[in-house]
Amino acid sequence: MLQTGYVLSGLIAAAIMFLGARFWVAPAAASGDFGIADSPPLSKGFIAWLSVKGTRDIASGIFVIILMSNGSPRVLGEFMLAASLIAFGDMVAVLRSGGSRALAFGMHGLTGLVIVATGACLIVGAK
């Protein structure tokens, strides 16, 4: 169970850093794929906000890697449980904007559940 938690943590870290980098490199595509309905057209200000989101995602992935290398699966698991709130918050943001329910639940909600399962694997495996 512990090994599964670490593997999933590594995959989650890599995925979130990739997605964060995408908000820097291809903000129009990343914004469109996020799922918020009626996103404004790209402007200097909107691109800056997308960069903020990208930076948050990259930093979140780095936090996971730091905690993975720390050797404390319980702390990593607790962090993952807390970090799942980001994915669930993203899901709610998409739903509140009138965005795609399938995307909200299928991408953001499912991601949140995988992060919760990862955290649970790490916490249970640490005992």
Q: What is the pLDDT of residue 37?
A: 81
CB 37 within 8 A of CB 104: no
**Average pLDDT per 10 consecutive residues for the chain, totaling 127 residues:** 94 97 93 85 90 96 96 95 96 94 95 97 92
Q: What is the pLDDT of residue 41?
A: 84
Q: What is the pLDDT of residue 3?
A: 92
For the chain, what are the domain ranges? 2-126
Rounded Cα gap, residues 24 and 55, in angstroms? 8
Q: What is the pLDDT of residue 127?
A: 77
CB 61 within 8 A of CB 53: no
CB 30 within 8 A of CB 19: yes
Both tokens of residue 108?
Answer: 């953001």
Q: What is the pLDDT of residue 99?
A: 92
Q: What is the pLDDT of residue 83?
A: 96
Rounded Cα gap, residues 113 and 48, in angstroms? 29
